[in-house]
Amino acid sequence: MSIGTSAASGEAIPQTHGFAIEVEGLRKTYGSLVAVDGISFRVQEREIFGILGPNGAGKTTTVEILEGLRQADSGRAVVAGIDVRKEPQRVKGLIGVQLQASAFFDFLNLVELLDMFAALYQRQVDARALLRRVDLEEKASSRVKTLSGGQKQRFSIATALVNEPRVLFLDEPTTGLDPQARRNLWELAQGIRQDGRTIVLTTHYMDEAETLCDRVAVMDHGKIIALDPPSALVSNLLAKGFRRRTVEREANLEDVFLDLTGHELREA
């Protein structure tokens, strides 16, 4: 499924000038707490862009402003060519947000849920094709509660794709997954980018960011303290003279785990 040349709604496609997201001077406070402190960045179309940072750094607040779920105090955010403050509803039609699977109704099967999500966008979807896209076609008649953790995450991505979004937001998509399921989800994210979509990803896993992201923004205390491709960030650190104290091991426990249990997905 690739991005079409015209929006299903019949509206003209907004001009993006090659940027899926443009943020300028974005700021958000909660009382005296400055959660997002005047940040600026741009995400290119078809980029996988990571937002990293310790707990409380301001990642969720930033992403939720971009999704039109929270209002910034000041600054400007343009997503898929639309000013989020001026037209939050229009932005919501152009983005996909991965929800936590536990929130899904348990009395509907996967096909019925996708049809329901599509109806919210006044669209019709080929639910089976969408399930095939996320490698869940054989679970079409199953309920979400019967899915494994990895399958739930893939299904939640399928729901976020029903409106053929130009920008997909993934919030810690592999938390709690086994190594095989994590790798499977990385491949899915790469495939979605191949379809022509832009992905914004928050994660606490540095290996995930290094594998998936073209560029990452590192946030701390509401500010972006670094923004570069992962390889450039590592080179910069080495150029400053950083050396690991211990000699790098040639294998780690994850390598042992994958060697013992294989790369095949384990899903009932």
Query: How many residues of this chain bind ligand ATP (CB under 6 A)?
Result: 11
The nearer residue to ligand ATP, 33 or 119, going by C-beta atoms, is 33
Stretch of 3-11, 55-63, 105-113, 237-245 lying at the interface with ligand ATP (CB under 6 A) = 55-63
Whole-number Å distance between alpha carbons of 22 and 83: 9
Q: Would you give the distance in Å from CA 206 to the centre of its chain?
A: 15
The nearest distance, CB 29 to ligand ATP, in angstroms, is 9
Phi-psi region for residue 177, left (φ > 0), alpha (ψ -120 to 50) or beta?
Answer: beta
The nearest distance, CB 248 to ligand ATP, in angstroms, is 28
Q: Residue 75 in contact with residue 23, Cβ under 8 Å? A: yes
The nearest distance, CB 60 to ligand ATP, in angstroms, is 3
The nearer residue to ligand ATP, 38 or 56, going by C-beta atoms, is 56
The nearer residue to ligand ATP, 62 or 184, going by C-beta atoms, is 62
- The b/e string for 161-184 (b: 16+ C-beta within 10 A; e otherwise) is bbbbbbbbbbbbbbeebbebbbbb
Whole-number Å distance between alpha carbons of 179 and 177: 7
Q: What amino acid occupies position 208? A: E
Q: Scanning residues 56 to 95, which ones bind ligand ATP (CB under 6 A)?
A: 56-61
Sequence-ordered list of residues with C-beta below 8 angstroms from that of 46, at least 6 positions apart, any chain: 20, 193, 196, 197, 198
Long-range contact set of residues 187-192: C-beta below 8 Å, sequence gap at least 24:
188/134, 188/135, 188/154, 188/157, 189/48, 190/48, 191/133, 192/157, 192/161, 192/168
The nearer residue to ligand ATP, 60 or 180, going by C-beta atoms, is 60
CA angle 236, 237, 243 (to 5 degrees): 140
Q: What amino acid occupies position 158? A: A
The nearer residue to ligand ATP, 4 or 176, going by C-beta atoms, is 176
Indicate the residue whose CB is closest to ligand ATP: 60
Q: How many CB atoms lie within 10 A of CB 198?
A: 26
The nearest distance, CB 52 to ligand ATP, in angstroms, is 9
Binding ligand ATP (rule: CB under 6 A), the pick from 2, 5, 15, 55 is 55
The nearest distance, CB 75 to ligand ATP, in angstroms, is 15
The nearer residue to ligand ATP, 56 or 88, going by C-beta atoms, is 56
The nearest distance, CB 161 to ligand ATP, in angstroms, is 24
Q: Binding marks (x or -) toward ligand ATP, 15..54, rule CB under 6 A?
A: ---------------x--x-x-----------------x-
Binding site for ligand ATP (CB under 6 A): 30, 33, 35, 53, 55-61
